[in-house]
Structure 1
Amino acid sequence: MNRRNFLYSSGILAAAMPLPGLLAFGEAPALSNPGIQLYMVREEMAKDPEGTLKQLGKMGYTQLESYGSDKGVFWGMNNKAFQKLANGYGLKLVSTHHNPMPVTEFEQLAAQSSEIGMKYLICPWLGPQKSIDVFKRAADDFNKRGEICKKHGLRYGYHPHDYPYKLVDGQLPIDVLLANTDKQLVDFQMDVYYTVSEGRDPYAYLFKHPGRFKLMHLRDVLKRRLPKGSKEESACDLGEGIINFPKLLSAAQHSGCKYFFVEQSRYDHETPLQSAAKNAKYLSRSPLAP
């Protein structure tokens, strides 16, 4: 077994094994406020924002996370109009990923977000880098944007993909970002799919850094590896892969995670909305342990 497969297998084992004091394997989780990242249904939102939000509300979602779409984070509306539309279907926009932007534009977004009661602005992407110093400079920028968010009553966050879990100059970028950002200003959004598929232990990060991972993206990992060189991600709907979500969600909440968003990326025999409905149903089952 090569190193990458070993790490992947280690991540699978960590994600699947029960933890003492948490839910036993096989019990179903329930979240009081399940959320969805709108990138998952981006084509539907682009064609029919109101109809899509109506369907998401009927599925049982209560929270939304947006992103920098072609129509902006408010989907061609002003901030108040979008929040009013979402509220009408039992949904609340609590966070958004943002595109790269200068500080002046970022401050405008922070003000607009604060005005409608949002909680988070999140950087979704730094990209793979050849030097760890790039991530150290990014940490400084996160702290500055965190100050701006604090001024407007918001929090700032960073969403790691796969690359922060790959060694650069002998260090993991995720560790460097955690160490060099001010925990009073910057939180993190774990995408558990990437943590596990890169062979890292999500529980080690949750419990070593309590209160830092305040948000989480949810999708499962296939039980089998895809063929080498495959362009497909090894993602699947919740409950159909190797991650023990009852245990994970309980552990995440114990460590201070507050916001959970479904974001599926791989559709075999379903549409994004069908996947969204299936994941919402999975998250609506019996309650988590206290």
Structure 2
Amino acid sequence: MNRRTFIRTTAATTLAISQTGSLMALEAENSFRKNLGIQLYTLRNELEKDAAGTLKKVAADGYKQVEPYGFPHAEAMIAGAKDAGLEIHSSHFEWDAVVNPKDESLPDFAKILDKAHEIGLSHLVIPYLKEPNRTTLDDYKKVAAHANKAAAMAKKAGIQLSYHNHNFEFEPKEGGKRGYDIFMEEFSPDMQFEIDVFWVKAGGVDPVELIKKLHGRVSQLHLKDLKEGIASPSYSTDLPKDAFQPLGSGIIPMEPIIVAAKAAGVKHCHVEQDQSPDPFADIRKSVVYLEKL
């Protein structure tokens, strides 16, 4: 064997080992694909027309669990999911109960916890912050303080509280510091993150690196793809509708994200697509893409 052939052979073998190792990591993990979830905001219009029928289609497409939104006012989603044989571990909830509480005892969140415990939820997620709660770093510090108190309450009920990001948390504020930096620094060990990889990427941050950085602190992921050509970093949530793509149709490689999620101790992954001209077709594209990884 001459030197050129040896180099080519060695390179090919190294690549094969690298690819095999990656695929084996996915296969060994497997639970994310076998128990794939969907955030039901993707199908909000369809659910409003026919919740039961929509959730049966979700189950037929291969999804095993759903993450409702608007909890505790999510009765139709919860009933439809149970009828369709879909598991419910997590829900987004009415965030003002924590972010803008009536008083420091968080009475509305206590009621939400009672309802979540009653139906068997293991995760609750703060889904959003409006502008008055994210203007300055002090605003983020106030949110973190309330979230930490709520997380301690949730822990006593056997429920994990997490925060779901968009892209605005990555906008530099005073001294170049970001709101997400405040959360990473000030969230207590009881408080975790639900990372939305689309919004992380839109905010100019590498999702894989963020998952690694938050090892052990990420409870769940939202998987969605970002269209090529969308300006990044962007800190406005007012993106073109076609910025949101089914998995495998944009610029975000999902395999390294799933591998990183396994290593970081992530519990659940949920497909989400905020905007879609044909949600049923797109959620099917996403699950087919993940099946082929």
TM bin (shorter chain):
0.7 to 0.9
Shift of 1:45: 1.0
Shift of residue 217 of structure 1? Answer: 0.7
Q: 2:186 aligns with which of 180, 189, 193?
A: 180
2:288 is matched with which residue? Answer: 281
The answer on 1:153 being equivalent to 2:158 is yes
Equivalent position to 1:48, from 34, 50, 58 = 50
Work out the CA distance in 1 between the residues paired with 2:113 and 2:265. Answer: 23
- Mean alpha-carbon deviation: is it higher for 136-145 or for 257-266? 257-266
Cα distance in 1 between the residues matched to 2:246 and 2:290: 11
Q: Answer yes or no: is 1:163 the counterpart of 2:168.
A: yes
Tell me the SS of whatever aligns to 1:241. coil
Contact map agreement 1:219 1:264 (CA 8 A) in 2: yes
| 8 Å contact from structure 2 (residues 224, 246) kept in 1 | yes
**Contact map agreement 1:34 1:61 (CA 8 A) in 2:** yes
Give the aligned partner of residue 190 of structure 1.
195
One of 138, 141, 145 as aligned partner of 1:136: 141
State the partner residue of 2:76. Answer: 75
Question: Which residue, out of 203, 216, 225, partners 2:230?
Answer: 225
Is the Cα contact below 8 Å between 1:206 and 1:255 reproduced in 2? Answer: yes
Cα offset for 1:36?
0.6
| Alpha-carbon distance between aligned partners in 2 of 1:209 and 1:226, rounded to the nearest angstrom | 25
Q: 1:98 aligns with which of 84, 87, 93?
A: 93
Distance in 2 between residues matched to 1:138 and 1:276, nearest whole Å: 33
Q: Is the 8 A contact 1:232 1:266 kept in 2?
A: no
Which of 211, 217, 236 pairs up with 1:212?
217
**Match for 1:110 among 88, 109, 113?**
113
- Report sequence identity in percent: 29
Instruction: Identify which of 66, 76, 80 aligns with 2:68.
Output: 66
What are the superposed Cα offsets for residues 85-135 of structure 1, whole Å, 9 maximum, x if unpaired?
423322111111112124222112111111222111111112343320111
Q: Aligned letter for 1:263?
A: E
Q: Post-superposition, which runs of at least 4 consecutive aligned residues in structure 1 deviate over 3 A?
A: 19-22, 27-30, 226-231
What's the offset of the Cα at 1:225?
2.7
Describe the SS at the equivalent of 1:107: helix
RMSD: 2.7
Shift of 1:63: 1.1
- With 187-196 and 88-97 compared, the bigger mean Cα shift is at 88-97
Asked whether the 8 Å contact 1:34–1:283 carries over to 2, the reply is: no
Higher relative contact order (CA 8 A, sep 6+): 1
Q: Distance in 2 between matches of 1:205 and 1:196?
A: 10
Report which of the two has the higher share of helix: 2
Deviation at 1:67, TM superposition (A): 1.0
- C-alpha contact (below 8 Å) 2:42/2:275 kept by paired residues: no
Alpha-carbon distance, 1:22 to partner: 6.2
**TM-score normalised per structure 1:** 0.80
TM-aligned CA distance change 1:22 to 1:195, over 3 Å: farther
Which amino acid in structure 2 is aligned with residue 112 of structure 1?
Answer: K
**Displacement of 1:166:** 0.7
Tell me, yes or no, if the aligned pair for 1:125 and 1:160 is still in contact at 8 Å: yes
Unmatched runs of 5 consecutive residues or more in structure 1: 1-18, 77-81
Task: Provide Cα deviations, 1:240-264, integer angstroms capped at 9, x if missing partner.
Answer: 1111111111111111111111111
Residue 264 of structure 2: aligned partner: 255
Q: How does 1:235-274 map to 2 (within 5 A)?
A: 235-267=244-276, 270-274=277-281
Question: CA 1:132 to 1:226, structure 2 compared with 1: closer, same or farther past 3 Å?
Answer: closer
SS across alignment from 1:215: strand
Structure 2 residue runs without a partner (length 5+): 1-17
8 Å CA contact 1:136, 1:180 repeated in 2: yes
Mark the structure with the bigger radius of gyration.
Answer: 2
